[in-house]
Every structure is written in C-alpha cells, then in structure tokens.
Structure 1
Amino acid sequence: MARVVGQVDESKTAAILDAAAALFAEKGALTSMDAIARRAGVSRQTLYNRFPSKVEIARALATRRSDAISAPLRSGGDPVTVLTATAAGMLEKLIAQGAGASMRGVALMSPNDPELAHAIYQAGPAEGLRRLSAWLAEQSRAGTIAVPDPDAAAEMFTGMVMGHGHLRSVLGVAHPGFDVETRAAEAARRFLRAFAV
C-alpha cells in the first residue's frame, strides 16, 4: 500500500535510530549526521526532516529505551507483576548484546558534548525514574504499598535491580551469569516487602 503524502515512513525512522545507536557506541560524540544517514541508508534530507540534530536523535533513542522499560508500569497489573516485569526489562537492556559499548559511547561523549549527555539522561534514565516514581505514588495512594518518598524509592528500586551492572557494562567487564526472571522477581518481592502496608 502506498504512503499518503506527508506520512512518515516509520521504518526509516527506526533505521536512523538503529544506525545512530551503533555509531554512538563506536565513535561517541565524533559521530556525524552524514555517517548516521549513510549507515541508515537514507538521504541527509530524510535524516534532517526527522531529527534536526544529534541531540534530537539521542533524545529519541533514550525515549525509545525508556518507553520499552517502563511499559509494564502502564499495564495495570498487580504490584509484584508490574515491578518484576519492569526489573526484567532493565536487566535485559543491561545485558543485551552491545549494551556495554553503547554505555561506554555515552560516557565518552559526555565531557565533550554535555548537551547531548543531558538530553540522553533526561529522556532516558531520568524519565524512567519519573515514571516509576509516579507509579509508586499512585500505588501508595491506592493503599497497595506505603511509599513516603516515591522519588527516593524509585532510585532505590533501580539500584537494587541494577547493582553493579552499569559499572560492569561501562568497564567492559562480563556480567555474572544469572536468570533474569528470577533476579527480577526477587528484587520486586524484596522491594515491596520494604514498603508493605
């Protein structure tokens, strides 16, 4: 079926984001818009129509990741199921092929391009924390758990789930073998026990 005039081809957007993620992991802030367009197999015009700058691309990449990880928070399930799924999403992204290179790329570009680093953090990890905090506050109001400081609790949960995972990824150290679902379920249960009504 032909596209309607003005309709965005989402496969090109996905190709741009995938290309940018790979190049940011390889070259950090030295990645050029031209290189992203070439790797994605799109014209410069197509690239700039969708993303006017590397900052916008980085923001979109972080948003895509945050949306995927926080999807269970919008599911309406019971707290243990929701937090287990959220934790599993975090762990899967952490140990995914290429995750370490991507994190190192971001870490390397941060001093040279603080605007880019800030955009990535705000659209990704910070947005994930805001969503988790809002969900925790909602659960607390509903009486399923008692969370006096949802912002602090969101950071605690994230830290509990990730442990030294980010550090291992940035340093290129292998993650110890573990079952994602088992670890995610344990983190969710222990966290909920700490904030039980």
Structure 2
Amino acid sequence: MTLYVYVDNSNLWIEGMRVSAVRRGMAVDAIEAMNKKITDGSWTYDFGKLYGAICPDDATIGRSALFGSRPPANDSIWELARQEGFDVTVYDRNAANKEKQVDTAISTMILEDSFQHMKDGDRVVLVSGDRDYLPVIESLRRRGIPTTVVFWEHATGRELKEEPVDYMALDSLFDHLTMTRHHTEDQ
C-alpha cells in the first residue's frame, strides 16, 4: 500500500491554536474559541511528528504535500516542512487577507495523483476537516481508493467522520504534535 498525504496547513494550524487556547484556559471549549475567534498564537506543531503519527513506519509514501498561504519572509516553518519531505505549495492571500486557492489546489492534486499515480490498494490521507473535500473523496471511493481524514475533532465535518471515510482525530495527539520552544534565561 502506498499513502498519498495532503495537509491543509492553515486549517491545521488555526484549529490547533484553538485547541491550545482551550487547554490553556483562554476559552471554555472549542465552540467558544471558534465563535469568539480565540486562538493561542504561540502554538505550532512539529511536521515530523505529524508525519510519523499519520504514516506508519512501514508505509510507502507516494507523495506528502503541504499547502497554505505565503508566510512572512522570516518564517522557517515551511523550510522545516521541506526538510521533513513535504512538497510545499503556497499561495498569496487576496486583498482582504483571505486565503484563496488552497482547498482547490489540494483537491486538484489529489485527483491528478489518483489518475496518474495511484494503484489498487493505495490510500489518500487528508489532513483537513473541511466538507469541501467530500466530492473528491466520493470520486476516489467510486474508483476504489479509500480516504483517511485526520483532523481536530471540533473542526471536522460530520460527513468526514462517517463511512466510507476512515477518520482519525488529532486531539489525543496534541501534546505529541506540539512543538516546544526553547527559551534562554534572558527571554
């Protein structure tokens, strides 16, 4: 079996910041954090640990792709992702500072890969909880390609947690995925 892994970084990071906010007592629960736009801006995750959690050691990887909005010039996160083996695709935000093109780009790459590279027994691993991916997942299912959705419980559409989709909640892996920052005594 070959895995094809696609990660929506912006959604993963934003919703992870909400989980962190709840854990730090900044919000009562994820719903409050979502409704009041409460996030823990200091939280980030470790790409290598994410990869290890969703891809078994014995798995063959056909592609691992990370998508998101263009980071600031001094942001090293994307280089870390490249070092962990992710194909990185970034897009500029629009004039209103909204992310555009990411969901469509992920969907397009999944479908292109499914026709050009995937074979019987291969599996798509999608790290996003957005219901916009349902048509792609359904197209894959009709052709016999299973999908595993991996995302935060509170931010995953109900339909992505039901058959025929395999679902894995990231919540129990929060501590494992959290990138710790080392501070010196003077900071």
TM range (shorter): under 0.3
Q: TM-score, normalization: structure 1?
A: 0.26
User: Would you tell me which structure has more helix in proportion to its own residues?
Assistant: 1
Q: TM-score, normalization: structure 2?
A: 0.27
User: Would you tell me which structure has more strand in proportion to its own residues?
Assistant: 2
